[in-house]
Structure 1
Amino acid sequence: MPVTQQDVAEAARVSVSTVCLVLRDDPRISEHTRRRVLQAAQDLGYVARTALHAPGGVHHLGVLIAEGSAHPSADHFFGEVLRGVTEEAERGGHTVSVAAFGGHDLPRLVREGRAHGLILGGNPIAEGVLERVRALTIPSVFIGRYPGHLSLNAVLTDNPAGGQLATEHLLGLGRRRVGFISGDPTESFMNDDRLTGYRRALHLAGAQPGPLWFARGTAMGGVEGGARAVHDLLGSGADFDALFVAEDHMALGALRALRERGVCVPGDVAVVGYSDIHLAGLSDPPLTTVHVPRRRLGRTAARLLDDLLTGRVEPPLHITLPPRLVVRGSCGAVAQKSPRPPPASPHPSPPAAPTSPEV
């Protein structure tokens, strides 16, 4: 395992950002601290990557997307994220490269040291990749999801709050048996978090949970998984008057299956999805859903990465963006103009200790 800046920081009893500033010969660092850091680096055999020394303050940002999420069927999710990254990078005078990755190997962009910092997203990300990223001597930011057992930088949407928002909306419409449909919670932290929000809303309202259905394995998700969920629930005689579906593709499948079984939406069953993909507004009826601010995720991640590269903040940091409900026809409520979400905190705080999932 290569020696990292974290190792040097621990040996010199300073922060990682201080090590970074010393290696860049920043004049703000005292001579005493500089000597201590350089001595620790020499003792440990640390070798600084040449990519860290960006001429003129211009950095090259690498955006890595897990191969499963880079597929065209991903509904342009990371296209919007990338748009936000490139907008913010251009504003800062930086450049961007994009690469897909899979398995346990990082792309050549990283192996050859051509990136000063990384933004990583998509699902699934193998455990081996997480460890390799953690061992790098360049900063990285995870986007949209976070492996809670590791201390890594991340820009997230508040999935528990989003799940709670969706469920409270259905309860507020007078629905009393709200079911939950999701991909496999063991395959995704996001599914787990949205289930947590669903359960929290029911608990606060004193309501009983409706039927639960989980796709077992990633192959059971998507439109077909949502359709299968509805056929299974109706076939079992499950009693529900609303469904919170924790992913929009599955919600579209649920709408299709309800129509095939002669169930009126939203008259008999109200449906709310999650993500606000492009197809959500084109379904019949149009899908009410929790909006994920993809472009804003990209801009915020690029801004955080720039702050890490310049030593303005110290890792690990989390920035959480608030959810927003987009009301359309599938829930039976009158659509209203959604308020603008509050801005993300410009001074992100260290992550709280991971909590155990409720599954």
Structure 2
Amino acid sequence: MTVVDVPEGSPFGLANLPYGVFSTPGAPPRAGVRLGDSVVDLARLLDDPVFAAPVLNGFLAQGRTRWTQVRERIADLLAGDVPDDAVHPVTAVTMHLPFAVADYVDFYASEHHATNLGRLFRPDSEPLMPNWKHLPVGYHGRAGTVVVSGTEVVRPCGQRKAPDEPGPTYGPSRRLDIEAELGFVVGTGSALGERIGVDDVAEHVFGAVLVNDWSARDLQAWEYVPLGPHLGKSFATSVSPWVVPLAALEAARVPLPGQDPQPLPYLRGRADWGLDVDLVVEWNGEEVSRPPYREMYWSPAQMLAHLTVNGASARTGDLFASGTISGPEPRQRGAFIELTWGGKEPVTVKGEQRTFLLDGDEVTISATAPGPDGSRIGFGEVTGTVAPARGESD
């Protein structure tokens, strides 16, 4: 038996206990929680076959009461001795996509980001569309291209047309970008034809992950009118391997920054809270931005309520993301198109002037949030490296 060591100040203490799926050499993937610098095997610790599965979906589907019971049981057990063979150094395991993604919806919930992109994409018009402050704008993404942190991101090809070109051309994206986001994982869904109310978010959302919604801005600019993002977004979305339970983020809840005009009744309720999550974006190991999630205009509960208000069903494993997180200051922008103002204002990375991503570039997004008693809750990291385009290039 052993006691799991938790370094002082670790963002992975007993108040966090994020869930993931890991494997060790010669053994299949199974569920674990992170405590300090260790991964604890839940199938071994709890002797429950639901945690021996290669994804968390079976556990997620059991619902909030079960989530609470398991969390309390794990915390009790980890406060004492646990079996030696249930504990693995985090550096000695391979992390996997923690849940099978059923559907993926990406929102556009930052007023700062939406305003900046409106100014860049539509310089002669109002930056926000007339509907933006009335509903959480979003689009349906591609669940099959959601990948876990560390997965290589191949530069996408497609049609692009620069303003000075007479017509579109085909080839690798020239303006590959990132979007630093927070994603929410649905545990229990809803029936077709029903809707989830704003105040029911905790009954349905299990937890949160970090998201990098890679974006080909040149493909996006040419295709997005009239039906919105498609190939400019669908090639890859990276998520962190650890799912931080919503229950671990209660101390991080903050009021929304203010919504004017007042949303329609279905978007109002007691769960109209935001989250005080601080993100850090690193480009080739150098910090370039610190996006603050507390600045987001629309709440997670409002996003889920809007997602289902037309009767669309939610399912176990659904992922809905916030859209790019940006604050009011230049160094709080969560996308490089904003950070470099469309490429006109390069940033310095490792002594070089940079605008959009080059092959071989690595981007890492990390985050922490306030926990109880002055502690911090860690989300870990989501990292991706850009690989050259494959196949035909022109």
Superposition TM-score tier, normalisation by shorter sequence: under 0.3
Bigger CA radius of gyration: 1
Between structures 1 and 2, the one with greater helix share? 1
Between structures 1 and 2, the one with greater strand share? 2
TM-score, normalized by length of structure 1? 0.26
Larger RCO (alpha carbons 8 Å, 6+ apart): 2
